[in-house]
Structure 1
């Protein structure tokens, strides 16, 4: 550039007015304080973006709940699009303090519940989750039982019942409370038998879960010579990962103060399902149908070579963990890591199966709901959203930026409308469930929590319909990956080859992608566009 020929941007010889500090609105200050509390920081600047501060989609949902408690009404999507406190204050509204009128009639299942119950082995196989909590001191089992009863009464998803023929959740009924907790005392057992007994207790607890009888939640107090541990087990129909964080946080508050009054919930799970069913019939959802039909059409063109008849049956589980020094990209930014996982899965599919485009069912927490659906940040229930996304093997962009409403419409069209047969019957060949960072406990908890729980939560014969399923989470030591191969659908050798290709694609990482993307830029055309 001929810099000497550029005009002066500041007229010479004139004084320049001093910069006047911008007055930060009081609402933006309040939002900043809540952001700081959610993110575990002393303070945050009102002009710095939430995700730049270390937030992710899960903490955004938690921020929505905290803001609602302060009568500030925003959605998780608005935090995504207006990331700083000062920008968010421009779209925030005063939250209504009244509770949503609770549903007293049967309501349609949540889309993910309907998806689950459509699986052939849904009610004949385990499909549970559990968490294991190391308590800081010995507890009185009676007090612990009372605390658990408070949680079950507060969150009726923990004992809900269904009409499986009609596909609805039934209204709660008043019934005598049955015990949730049982005590297993190993303090006098030989030390070399404790681990075996603990595992047996956990297995029996998983077996005792029965969704057809409304038995969705139970607890076991495991006492050994050194400590008390609490095992919580719930059927996935009633809980998800964020639900466990809610339950553990509330349990911690009750154990610290038996007289505490927990924050009031404005709506329950059934209320949210009812609002989603209404949204399924909205014009916005209806107009998304062609988009989702074009996405799912790809599933008919993708096939993985099937194993021979009479071959190995069951599931093959492969660990593909990658330590931090082996990664060429920085973990800690959930959206970036999720996008990289999707691209790596597509790259591995291109290498192993020759696909130029891959259809992947992406599982997300599903709590980023539109304004017309009640706030679900403090609600226990299964909110997972399963969204089919097309990923190009040579693509570099985040494929999720073009997905309308974060994929909300697909589940509504497929599972909460009678005309969704074609979407319901589509089946992506692979799935990704990225859980984010599980290494840190939620803010304010002094409990040691093992989010993996104890015992086998998912039955060996349960089938999602995916040939290849990737489960991933991260910590400060690296990226933890497991690949599940359904040997009824995929040859074991191909499953192992895909796992190796996926791990290699993640290790190849950002440097190759950056070189390729720069090489694709036409610098002459760019100069012309900029007028240089």
Structure 2
């Protein structure tokens, strides 16, 4: 791989120049051009910058976290450990084997069909798919971010994805002013277990899965959701949490049955598809990228496969303060900017509602999926929690006796 060299003019900010270059880089995977490296050479006495652009076919979010420390070690002249895991090529071959296992089709095919049948719960009624991309970015304050990712998740024993998706479903229902749910494509890390053992914990590649989920909490996502003093917001979060945990095989099975199984693919391909995609990328800090930064490309350079695509991540700002940042991509000319602004505003407001609701005395609690070894309904759990007076778990996962 050749490394281009760009001289940074005197007095210019090399990071600004890096952002401009990142937005203009174009790769060509059909011609084998998957990676491009540019060295930004600055004046004597200053450290230069390495701009590395890699096509998504070669890396995903987890891969960047693997590459960052290894790049830092390599630039420092340190010896890198030899890879002993499963190669991406081997993984791809294993996927084709997994897709035609009879057990997979028998267990999951009907489940995915149920996800995509029922009332229309799309965000834009099919408008805008394939249009030119525009991006609207919103960012929550450190105070709301910390509360949403720590207080709410601890009180309801869930992950950040459940909180953010509950808020998005509530915002979509209110914005649409119809229905009680949301049909959404979710993205996952894709590094799920297969029938054949494989070690891909340090394998670099595009493992990302995308699968449809129908998020529907009924009346709990209606007008009462927006009243923190009511129980609706908490009930909605519990239901969404359960629906996310019910997805089989981490969503990997959808792609296998939809694209790699010749018996199930035609039937699944004929079903309605979501026109909204949601992806929670987690938290990124300097340590994840060798004290570097992840720079975005120009919006027009990225294809738009949905009417709206939401990419959320937590960024570490000055002083270690965390801010939840989300890009709402939409089809320029097909959806109005005001429509997307309203959806983004309602999403932020819904997160604040969940935070305020959680701070009420007596909110939170468990759900059935928290106790997989017993068969308990939500009503039975509520009675048990009242009788036993459960305490929230400590940071190490252990509650009080």
TM-score (norm 1): 0.57
Residue 486 of structure 1: how far off its partner (Å): 2.0
Is residue 368 of structure 2 the alignment partner of residue 509 of structure 1? no
Deviations 1:63-85 (A, max 9, x none): xxxxxxxxxxxxxxxxxxxxxxx
Match of residue 427, structure 1, among 273, 290, 301: 273
Name which structure has the greater RCO, CA cutoff 8 Å, separation 6+: 2
Describe the SS at the equivalent of 1:349. Answer: helix
- Assess, with a 3 A threshold, how the Cα gap between structure 1 residues 251 and 387 changes in structure 2: closer, same or farther: same
SS of the counterpart of 2:213? strand
Q: Which residue of 1 aligns with 2:186?
A: 362
Note the 1:12-411 alignment, pairs <5 A: 179-186=1-8, 189-192=9-12, 198-199=18-19, 201-204=21-24, 206-207=25-26, 209-225=27-43, 226-257=46-77, 260=79, 262-287=81-106, 288-298=108-118, 300=120, 302=122, 304=124, 314-327=132-145, 329-331=147-149, 336-353=159-176, 354-370=178-194, 372-393=196-217, 394=220, 395-397=236-238, 398=241, 399-411=243-255
Deviation at 1:530, TM superposition (A): 7.5
> Match for residue 462 of structure 1?
303
* Counterpart contact for 1:364–1:386, Cα < 8 Å: yes
State whether residues 285 and 412 of structure 1, in contact with CA within 8 Å, keep that contact through their aligned partners in structure 2. Answer: no
SS in 2 for 1:320: strand
Between structure 1 and structure 2, the one with the greater Rg is: 1
Please tell me whether the aligned partners of residues 471 and 481 of structure 1 are also in contact (alpha carbons under 8 angstroms): yes
Other structure's SS at 2:327 match:
strand
| CA drift at 1:402 | 0.9
Q: Kindly tell me: are residues 251 and 421 of structure 1, through their superposed partners in 2, closer, same or farther at Cα, counting changes over 3 Å?
A: same
Residue pair 1:183, 1:220 contacting (<8 A) in 2 also? yes
8 A Cα contact 1:265 1:379, kept in partner = no
* Equivalent of 1:473 in 305, 313, 328: 313
The structure-2 alpha-carbon separation of the partners of 1:500 and 1:251, relative to structure 1 and needing over 3 Å to count, comes to closer
- What TM-score, normalized to structure 2? 0.73
Q: SS of 2:300's equivalent?
A: coil
- Give me the whole-angstrom Cα distance separating, in 1, the residues matched to 2:114 and 2:194: 24
Higher mean alpha-carbon deviation, 245-254 vs 501-510, is at 245-254
Residues 341 and 215 of structure 1, relative CA distance in 2, 3 Å threshold: same
How far off its partner does 1:439 sit?
Answer: 2.1
- Segments of structure 1 that go 5 or more residues without pairing to the other structure are 1-178
Give the superposition deviation at 1:497. Answer: 1.5
CA apart distance, 1:489:
4.4
CA RMSD of aligned residues (A): 3.4
Structure 1 runs (4+) greater than 4 angstroms displaced: 192-200, 298-301, 305-308, 332-335, 513-518
State the Cα distance separating 1:194 from its structure 2 match.
5.8
CA deviation vs aligned residue, 1:277-320 (integer Å, no higher than 9, x gap): 10111123202100001102248553626779xxxx74342222
Equivalent in the alignment of 1:138: none
